[in-house]
Chain A
Amino acid sequence: MAIQQISVFLENKEGKLAEAIKAISGANVNIRALCVADTRDFGILRLITSNNADAKAALSDTGAVLATDVIAAKMDDTAGALSRILDILAEAQINIEYMYAFTGAADLGAYVVLRVNNTPAAEAILKAAGISTLCDDDVKAM
């Protein structure tokens, strides 16, 4: 199962990130994981949250907001676990656009968020390899 990530397009300018995060906290939304991509011109803030609908509404004044499907794969917290996932995807010729990792607050499990060029294919391959992935309800329940 894929999960929904929300992304915010921000100016690469002081205060813009603070403004976005403040908007989310104002809506009482908890951030499970985040990743910021920065370029000279703009930044893209990607978030996994406890409530995407509220987060999106709160962010709509801050910048362009977008919802995308990403995969959150569970890993053993041991050396080589991430390497195994990446190998599986590489072998299947799936390209990773970007990724980031986080630890589940409740189960203290390690998760990697993957944005790939073919989400359904990646999911199927990971499932076949016995790697479990999160769904939106899992994220909410975390």
Chain B
Amino acid sequence: MPHYYQPEIETASREEILAIQNEKIVKQVKHVYENVKYYRDLMDAKGVKPEDIQSVDDIKKLPFLSKADLREAYPYGLLGTDLKNCVRIHSTSGTTGKRVVAFYTQHDVDIWNDCCARAIVAAGGNSGDVCQVAYGYGLFTGGFGLHGGSEKVGCLTLPMSSGNTERQIQFMMDLGATIICCTPSYAAYIGETLAEQGYKPEDNKLKAGIFGAEPWTEEMRRSIEKSLGIKAYDIYGLTETSGPGVAFECCAQSGMHINEDHFYAEIIDPDTGEVLPEGSKGELVFTSLDKEAFPLLRYRTRDICVLSHEKCACGRTHVKMSKPMGRSDDMMIIRGVNVFPSQIETVLLNEGYTPNYQIIVDRVNNSDTLDVNVELLPEQFSDIVAENQKKERALEIAMRTMLGIGPRVHLVPPHSIVRSEGKAVRVIDKRKLHD
């Protein structure tokens, strides 16, 4: 029996959802036009007036916002209300350049918490649960987002933040955590550490994990589910649109329901900007329908995915987005070929290796090189050099088949790759140092 946090809206009919969206978008465009000069200038330049937007069908007339706009408008250029009405700031990790800061009014925090609460209930959470929030607390949205959602649901909330794995495990075991929220790479690390300490998956009380903030594969999901003895749920969000909870997975584990009463999603052709029909693969674009402080319209996420309105077994009616095939930020162009770290991870897990790897991209004599360091499990190592090299060659062939370009694979001892407690550093692109 599926449970919902806000059943009336999560299972609303398409007509009801559209009616809510249409009402909100008219108000939101007016709000933005009147309060955000940066976007007003963009609309004026395109010749679009607020009254041109009468329903979500008209959203396609609006100009896009990109990460470049957010950087240009830093810090206050896209603020939609007076600073005295704001209660919170969060910021992106800045891994892909200058940080982006996002502002929240109390209303914005409340709807964000509701979105996260929906995700926790969809993962089977209720007021009897003990929810361990092992996302970082601070400027990063992960910790505070899931924390707020967990309290809304009424879970006993453990605000662990990320890191200090020994303490995470001690609290998990001593206080009987039933739900854990963190990045998938940290969940994998906790699972690995538990096993090293002699715990079996059934020794903990966890039943579900809500993992996001970095791309992960189906293979990694299965590996985490096995090591922790849980069901692993994906959650999606960006600081620019509030944080985690923009979309979340339900018991069907087949895509993430977008909270359509707060966010309107489009899929566009990333090259032409043209809106693509349902089922097409393209770049995900979000319009915030009711945020006050940081009301982004048509924000290009650079995430490549597919939307589907197909009926979901869980009873939720909100549109589902596929797991992003990779954020263009993660995409590497190596010798002209697009490569995502998730492709390499898929190969490793399929071949029976751990998801502990590091990708090193460099440029030697004007040609790109791709090296992948892969951690061996103790039982995978041989005392014979040729046997180890055979494993390296087999991985190189499997990766070449997957990627279309040939990497060099290097086996490294267990634990030699630094574990992340927040977002994993999977890629070291040394080409940037030379440029």
Contacts and interface: CB of A to CB of B under 8 A. Distances in A.
Interface of A: 5, 7, 9-11, 37, 39, 41-42, 44, 46, 62-66, 68, 97-98, 115
A116 to B, nearest CB: 11
20 contacts: A5-B383, A7-B381, A9-B376, A9-B413, A10-B413, A39-B388, A41-B392, A42-B410, A42-B411, A46-B383, A63-B413, A63-B416, A64-B380, A64-B381, A64-B413, A66-B378, A68-B383, A97-B384, A98-B384, A115-B384
Given A41-B411, A42-B410, A64 B389 contact: no
Interface in B148-203: none
Contacts of A9: 376, 381, 388, 411, 413
B382 interface: yes
Interface string B366-394: 00000000001110111111101100100
A70 to B, nearest CB: 9
A7 B376 CA distance: 14
B279 interface: no
A44 B414 contact: no
Interface in B403-428: 410-414, 416
Nearest to A117: B384
A64 B414 contact: yes
Contacts of A39: 385, 388-389
B378 A44 contact: no
A37 B381 contact: no
Contact of A66 (B383, B385, B416): B383
B383 A42 contact: no
A11 B383 contact: no
A42 B388 contact: yes
Contact of B376 (A46, A64, A97, A98): A64
A46 B416 CA distance: 20
B415 to A, nearest CB: 8
Nearest to B388: A42
A118 to B, nearest CB: 14
Nearest to A7: B383
Given A39-B389, A41-B392, A42-B388, A11 B412 contact: yes
Given A65-B378, A97-B384, A115-B384, A11 B389 contact: no
A115 B385 CA distance: 12
Contacts of B376: 9, 64
Nearest to B408: A41
A123 to B, nearest CB: 18
Contacts of A10: 413
